[in-house]
Amino acid sequence: MNMKKGLTRILIAAVALGILLPAGLFAFFYLKGGLSEAIAERKAYRSVANQFKNASRKADMLVTDVSFDEHSNKLRTSVKFTEYTHNGSALEPKYFTFNGNVIQMQSMFIKLDGMDIDNARSLKDKTISLFWKAFLPDGRATKDLELTKMNSIPEAYRLKDAEDPKEPEIWTNIWNFTVDPERSDNILISNVTIRANDRVFIPGTIYELEIERNGKLKYSTRFLPDRD
C-alpha cells in the first residue's frame, strides 16, 4: 500500500515537473526577451537623444542668381539653402527659385518636456530645432516650401554612424507628441521676413539664419569676398 502511494506521488511529481518545467522555461525566456527588448529600446532612445544638443542651429541661404522673366514681367531669384547639424556638418543643400524680392523663413522649436513614453527618459529636457518652411510670396501664386517634412526623420538629426531599426518608431512618437494639442505650449513657431536691399537681391549675398537656444529665429547678412 505504501509502495502504491509512493508510486502515485512519484507519478504526480513527474507530471507536475513535466508541466511546470516547460512553463518555467517559457516564462524565463519570455521575460528575458522582454528585458532585452526594453534595453535595446532605451539604447535607441539614448542614441537619438544624443543628437539633440542644447545649442543653436544654423543655416545659410546664398543668393546664386537674379534674372528678369520677360513673360511674367517679374524678377526671379535663385537661392541655395544649406543647413548644418549641431556639430557644424553641412547637409545636402536645397535649391529653389521664387519671384520678387521677399522671402519668409519659418522655424519650429520643440521642447520634449513631459514626453511620457516607456524607455524614453533620455529625451527629458531635450529640445529640437528645425528649419521648417520657406514662404515664397507671389500674390495668389504664393507657395510654401517644406524644408523639413513632418512625420519624417529630419536629416539634421538622422543617425549616421549607428543607424537603429527603432529610429523611425522613435520619431513617430516624437511627432505624435508634437502635434498633441495638450502639448502646444512646448512648440514655438518663429518667422523672419528677409527683404532685398535696394529692391533686388544681390548674387553673392549670404543670409545666415540661426535658431537660438530659446527657439527664436534670427538672421544676419554677409557677402562672398569675391563679389563684384
Place of cell 535663385: 78
Place of cell 547678412: 221
Three cell numbers written together for 159 = 543617425
Q: CA Rg, the chain, in Å? A: 28
For 187-213, the pLDDT digits (tens) are 999 999 999 987 899 999 999 999 999
**Which residues are bridge partners to 14 per DSSP?**
none
Question: Tens-of-pLDDT digits for all 228 residues of the chain?
Answer: 556 555 566 555 555 555 655 555 444 444 444 456 667 778 888 888 888 877 789 999 999 999 988 887 888 999 999 999 888 899 999 999 998 889 999 999 999 887 766 667 788 888 999 999 999 888 888 889 999 999 999 999 998 766 678 899 989 989 998 888 888 888 999 999 999 987 899 999 999 999 999 999 999 999 987 654
This prediction has a pTM of 0.78
- Write the secondary structure of 93-144 as one string of H (helix), E (strand) and C (coil): CEEEEEECCEEEEEEEEEECCCCCCCCCHHHCCCEEEEEEEEEECECECCEE
How far is C-alpha 101 from the chain's CA centre? 30
Exposed/middle/buried for residue 158 (C-beta within 10 Å: 0-12, 13-18, 19+): middle
Contacts of 174 (CB under 8 A, 6+ apart): 110, 112, 115, 123, 128
In 3-state terms, what secondary structure has residue 167?
Answer: helix
Q: ∠ at Cα 209 (208, 212), nearest 5°?
A: 130
